[in-house]
Structure 1
Amino acid sequence: MSDPYNSRVWKDNWLNGSVFRHGRLQGCLVTSKNSGTHWIKYMLSVALAETYGVEPPPYFSEAATQPYIGNPKNVSPFKELPALAFAHTIPHALMDQKWSHGLFNLPPYVLQVRHPMQILASHFTKWNYELQTDWLTYLKGDPAGEMYRCDLFWLARFWNRWGDLKQRFPEKILRVRYEEVQADTRGRLQAISDHWKINLTPASIEMAIEAGTKEAMAKKVDPNAEKNVLQKRKDDLNELFTGEALAIYQDIVGEYFRHDLGYDLLAIPQKS
């Protein structure tokens, strides 16, 4: 294929078979990048520890929550816990076929997303010490998917595939928006528990909510983990997405995104 974007779409859709390792899981959390992954994983880990009577995570880092919600290859040292994992994966094309879910025993999925403008601003703030580029160049992205961990083209590929599956298998995929977790943390944690059938207790959910505040998490920073997770981004979206920047964003979103996943993608989101 001569078109770099569609070439990458084909590779993601047909050559990434990681999803077929999910067969042993009771549930899988899939998040778009910079969408509150550490936060939701930590709260769920705290609730799981309380519900199933195991020691809680000492920190909110990926390493610390790995025993509770790890990667699909990981087996938890806590035998009491349900088998759960998380991923940023773009699903294989065979997941479009109903028979593949039975053949590979695929679990129910929780899909956590965030408004793309928020994702891009957060990612740029978090990783610009590595990116070493300017905001407009980053917004233009890389259709071939080689330059950035996350840009508008990665988001388009992720959004489109999970949007396709959510449309095809609405009962299998629970969409959770980051903003909904902020507005109703208790309700969203309960919905995830119900979707995965993991029976989190009301007391464990309350404990998770308390542990998940920024003040509480600031006391649980892993000294061996990356230091830039709890961001205090000062840039206003209305300043970042204006003029040429807004035009670049809207042009790419308008051309490449097939699903909105509950957002007004072209408008700047209002502060919650």
Structure 2
Amino acid sequence: MTYAARVWNDNWMNFSVLRHGAFDGFLVTSKNSGTHWVKYMFAVALADTYGIERPKYFSENAVRPYIGWPKDDPVFPELPRLAFSHTIPHRLADWGWARRLARLPPYALCVRHPMSILASHHAKWEYDIQVDWLEYLKGDPDGKRYRCDLYWLARFWNRWGEVETAFPASILRVQYEGTRADPAGTLDAIARHWGIALKPDAITAAVAAGTKDAMALKVDPDAEPNVLQNRQQSLETLFSGEAMDIYTARVRELFRHDLGYDFLTPPKA
């Protein structure tokens, strides 16, 4: 399968967006963009606001009763119905009549600088993919070799960039770097976008629960490893020489939307 064929398949054969109408708010995240962190903090804030138990861990399964998969049944009926996905939306999401028919919810679109995503993903999954940094950066146009690479990021970026351009009021773009700088502000903005009134003290408690030290005490022994991994090399080191040449060529070839990022400058956060 060529890259063009993979893009066509993503755009026209992924009908998961039709399930989104059942939800009050939907969190869409690019890979390795603080998904566990944001979901866990928001789940804690929900729990404290609505007076229910907090998630025991920050793992995906522990947080699913609060922000679940689109196929999940509600666990806490008093909570607003929320879901998350890494989905690349069908072309139906571009058409006003289809959006109204499907009753698509407001989306919080969580993204991160592609350099950070790639470095984090390789550090997290190197034990599994077993390829060196340069080989990984070259990517796989077919989308079968890696969970996330530059080709996957381009497909995700371009589709959500198209939807955001067409329906800007429906999308709240949440950059990981901004969340790092102001996690309370991010939680409040997402809640407001979804029409949820989180209590201020619940947001404060959620931010405290979302520090790396606090989350290290909430590791699910049955969850995937390396979620709290710490990358050893700087982005400036990783994206230099041949690596930067490969990255720059792919970015210029594949990406049509930047979602607010300067792709060629490493982020400070």
TM-score normalised by structure 2 residue count: 0.99
Give the Å deviation of 1:76. Answer: 2.4
Task: Please point out which of 182, 201, 210 is paired with 2:199.
Answer: 201
CA distance in 1, matches of 2:206, 2:200: 10
Give the Å deviation of 1:190. Answer: 0.6
CA distance in 1, matches of 2:254, 2:225: 33
CA distance in 2, matches of 1:141, 1:198: 39
- Structure 1 gaps, min length 5: none
Aligned pairs (5 A) from 1:162-177: 162-177=160-175
Report the 3-state secondary structure (helix = DSSP H, G, I; strand = E; otherwise coil) of the residue aligned with 1:238. helix
Cα-to-partner distance string for 1:98-143 (whole Å, 9 max, x where unaligned): 1111100110000000000000000001011110111111000011
CA distance in 1, matches of 2:230, 2:61: 23
Give the Å deviation of 1:227. Answer: 2.2
CA distance in 1, matches of 2:111, 2:73: 26
Residue aligning to 1:29: 27
Residue aligning to 1:214: 212
CA distance in 1, matches of 2:141, 2:194: 35
CA distance in 1, matches of 2:20, 2:257: 25
Cα-to-partner distance string for 1:142-177 (whole Å, 9 max, x where unaligned): 111111110000000000000011111110000000
Cα-to-partner distance string for 1:188-226 (whole Å, 9 max, x where unaligned): 111001000111110110010000000100010011112
Mapped contact 1:109–1:173 kept (Cα < 8 A) = yes
CA distance in 1, matches of 2:73, 2:232: 39
Task: Please point out which of 243, 246, 257 is paired with 2:244.
Answer: 246
Residue aligning to 1:87: 85
Report the 3-state secondary structure (helix = DSSP H, G, I; strand = E; otherwise coil) of the residue aligned with 2:28. strand
Report the 3-state secondary structure (helix = DSSP H, G, I; strand = E; otherwise coil) of the residue aligned with 1:171. helix
- Structure 2 gaps, min length 5: none
Mapped contact 1:46–1:204 kept (Cα < 8 A) = yes
Report the 3-state secondary structure (helix = DSSP H, G, I; strand = E; otherwise coil) of the residue aligned with 2:173. strand
Aligned pairs (5 A) from 1:1-272: 4-270=2-268, 272=269
State the superposition RMSD in angstroms.
Answer: 0.8
- Segments ≥4 residues shifted beyond 2 Å: none
Mapped contact 1:50–1:204 kept (Cα < 8 A) = yes
Which range moved further: 33-42 or 224-233? 224-233
Aligned AA for 2:224? E
Aligned AA for 1:144? D
CA distance in 2, matches of 1:167, 1:86: 21
CA distance in 1, matches of 2:95, 2:3: 24
CA distance in 2, matches of 1:116, 1:86: 20
